[in-house]
Amino acid sequence: MSVLRQSATELLAKLNAGEVTSVQLTQAHLDQIKQHDGQVKAFLRVDPAAALARAKEIDDRRKAKKPLGLLGGLPVAIKDLLCTEGETTTCGSKMLEHFKPPYDATVIKKLKAADAVLIGKTNLDEFAMGGSTENSAYQKTANPWDLARTPGGSSGGAAACVAAGMAPLSIGTDTGGSIRQPAALCGVTGLKPTYGRVSRFGLVAFASSLDQIGPLARTAEDAALLLEVLAGHDPLDSTSVDVPVPKYSETVKQPLKNLRIGLVREHFGEGLEPEVEKAVRDAVEVYKSLGATVKDISLPHGKYGVATYYIIAPSEASSNLARYDGVHYGHRTNEKQMVAELADERNKLVAAGKTAAAEALDNPLVRMYRRSRAEGFGPEVKRRIMLGTYALSAGYYDAYYLKALKVRRLIRQDYDVAFNEVDLIVGPVTTSPAFKLGEKVDDPLSMYLVDLYTVSANLAGIGGISIPCGMSRNLPLGLQLQAPPFEEERLLRAAHMFQQATDWHQQFPAMVPKA
């Protein structure tokens, strides 16, 4: 079998047995990128020479029998929302086209220490705002299963590159579903950890109370391996939680006994495509055959999830994005041209006798901020800033933001009640398989509704995983598992059990060679 179809765990065993080198593995993935990324457009930047040099260095250390980190020479792709020292980090935005962070994000440091080969930075919706990767200022990523369709978003590049055999592992971020939804639409495994499980230091902020970094991979076992590297308390992120990190890569193999799974009544309502519902119900049958018991449960406030999320996330975003003013950070407008235009406008107004209007013109500093932001941000980001600024404004704060915080608490309480009765909640990730590129991009509301099944986990701060559970019209479908806070181990073990009993995770799009 081609190395491009093998799991990271299998590849690591081969690396350790001397059956393959990191240089060979890295080269194979680089070749796949070269051959197919012109169409898929998963990567924003790849530096083959740097990746190969790093792989060679790891191979040399392995040959010299020096100790190696957990990822010992495996290629890993990085969502371009994570700071990489001295290397361009655009966040999919023109605003940061030339931004070279002076430091590595904590997870990047951890990946380097674990001897990963960082193979490239992947495409995303601008500042992770979106669900189709079409909001990137640079390119639209395609779904490797059908190039006319979206890979999902915002970690569309991260999911597409794993599905397309361009990297066995990648790092995504999930604020309202951005790991789980693209994982589902591309047929890979993606885990959003509990809020606080993984350090956010060096992750460019979208909505700070919701953002989490997590792994995308071909199998649950691989996601466990990668999460083991990523997870842990970090003094540089005060919201990261100081709880022990299990050895996920080992415990993932232990099956769960007497598993009690909950099916959320409200998940099977309007909008869910019959084929997705069938795949989810079939998956539940698989769990039953493995000894699980199933219970109907209710998350009564889940129906307010999307509305709540689209108040809280834009509110936080409007504050986080204030730093891009062309002075502290980001694109700055052409000042010479701006000053000349301003003088021109003023002269015209004065000549027309409109002195009051001339005096009311922006001063150059304010105008510089406005122009820089107008030029640097794309339309969806501007929409979020407007939504958030409105929700936080003095007259509306109580009616929108405060109310959303209260509903958020109720959503969390629903989970607390449900997890008294069940160990895991099982359901769909999306209502349908991948939609067509262009289908929703001009209709923000329909794009926001895609997040129906994913935002509640972020609002409650709990973990969730998406694993392949079926196909519809040759497009992958995802199953979502959710667990109580800091029970990533349970998610991974349950996902692995499912993957031992099924082969949906071993399906590949045609562009990934068999041999």
Residue 96, C-beta contacts closer than 8 angstroms, at least 6 positions apart: 89, 90, 204, 324, 329, 330, 331
Active-site residue (options: 79, 112, 140, 440): 79
Q: How far is the CB of 28 from ligand GLN (least distance, A)?
A: 30
Question: Residue ranges of the alpha helices (H) in 41-118?
Answer: 48-63, 106-113
Q: How far is the CB of 184 from ligand GLN (least distance, A)?
A: 13
- Which region, judged by CB under 6 A, interacts with ligand GLN, from 97-105, 172-180, 370-378, 479-487? 172-180
Please give the torsion angle defined by the CA atoms of residues 460, 461, 467 and 472, in that order, rounded to the nearest 10 degrees.
40
Region of 126 on the Ramachandran plot (φ > 0 left; ψ -120 to 50 alpha; else beta): beta
Active-site residue (options: 93, 132, 154, 170): 154
3-state SS class at 510: coil
Size of the site for ligand GLN (CB under 6 A): 13
> What is the pattern of x (binds ligand GLN, CB under 6 A) and - over residues 191-210?
---------------x----
Residues 483-502 contacting ligand GLN, CB under 6 A: none
- Residue 6 or 150 with smaller CB distance to ligand GLN: 150
Question: From the centroid of its chain, how far is CA 148?
Answer: 21
Residue carrying the six token digits 């289908």 = 439
- Residue 8 or 306 with smaller CB distance to ligand GLN: 306
> What is the pattern of x (binds ligand GLN, CB under 6 A) and - over residues 412-451?
---------------------------------------x
- Residue 287 or 453 with smaller CB distance to ligand GLN: 453
- Residue 4 or 107 with smaller CB distance to ligand GLN: 107
Structure tokens at 144: 């490797």
* Spatial distance between the Cα atoms of 39 and 60, rounded to a whole number of angstroms: 35
Our finding on whether 170 is near ligand GLN (CB under 6 A) is no
Structure tokens at 461: 């701060």
* Spatial distance between the Cα atoms of 446 and 209, rounded to a whole number of angstroms: 24
Residue 424 backbone dihedrals phi, psi, to 5 degrees: -140, 145
Structure tokens at 412: 């969390």
- Residue 40 or 179 with smaller CB distance to ligand GLN: 179
Residues 110-169 contacting ligand GLN, CB under 6 A: 128-131, 154
Q: How far is the CB of 175 from ligand GLN (least distance, A)?
A: 4
Q: Strands, E, within 97-211: which ranges?
A: 117-122, 169-174, 189-192
Answer yes or no: 154 catalytic: yes
Active-site residue (options: 7, 178, 315, 466): 178
| Residue nearest ligand GLN, Cβ-based | 178
Residue 122 backbone dihedrals phi, psi, to 5 degrees: -100, 155
Task: Name the CA radius of gyration of the chain, rounded.
Answer: 23
Dihedral sign from CA coordinates of 96, 101, 105, 110: positive
> What is the pattern of x (binds ligand GLN, CB under 6 A) and - over residues 451-470?
x-------------------
Answer yes or no: 79 catalytic: yes
- Which region, judged by CB under 6 A, interacts with ligand GLN, from 175-183, 268-276, 357-365, 437-445? 175-183
* Spatial distance between the Cα atoms of 391 and 376, rounded to a whole number of angstroms: 23
Answer yes or no: 472 catalytic: no
- Residue 206 or 377 with smaller CB distance to ligand GLN: 206
> What is the pattern of x (binds ligand GLN, CB under 6 A) and - over residues 264-303?
----------------------------------------
- Residue 206 or 324 with smaller CB distance to ligand GLN: 206
Structure tokens at 163: 């599905």
- Residue 227 or 450 with smaller CB distance to ligand GLN: 450
Contacting residue, 104, 174, 423, 489, with ligand GLN by CB under 6 A: 174
Q: How many CA atoms lie within 13 A of 97 on its CB side?
A: 12
Structure tokens at 217: 């991979």
- Which region, judged by CB under 6 A, interacts with ligand GLN, from 103-111, 170-178, 194-202, 395-403? 170-178
Instruction: Please give the C-alpha separations between residue 112 and each of 62, 107, 165, 221, in angstroms, as whole numbers.
Output: 15, 9, 22, 20
Residues classed as catalytic: 79, 154, 178
Question: Which residues in this chain contact ligand GLN in the complex, by CB under 6 A?
Answer: 128-131, 154, 174-178, 206, 313, 451
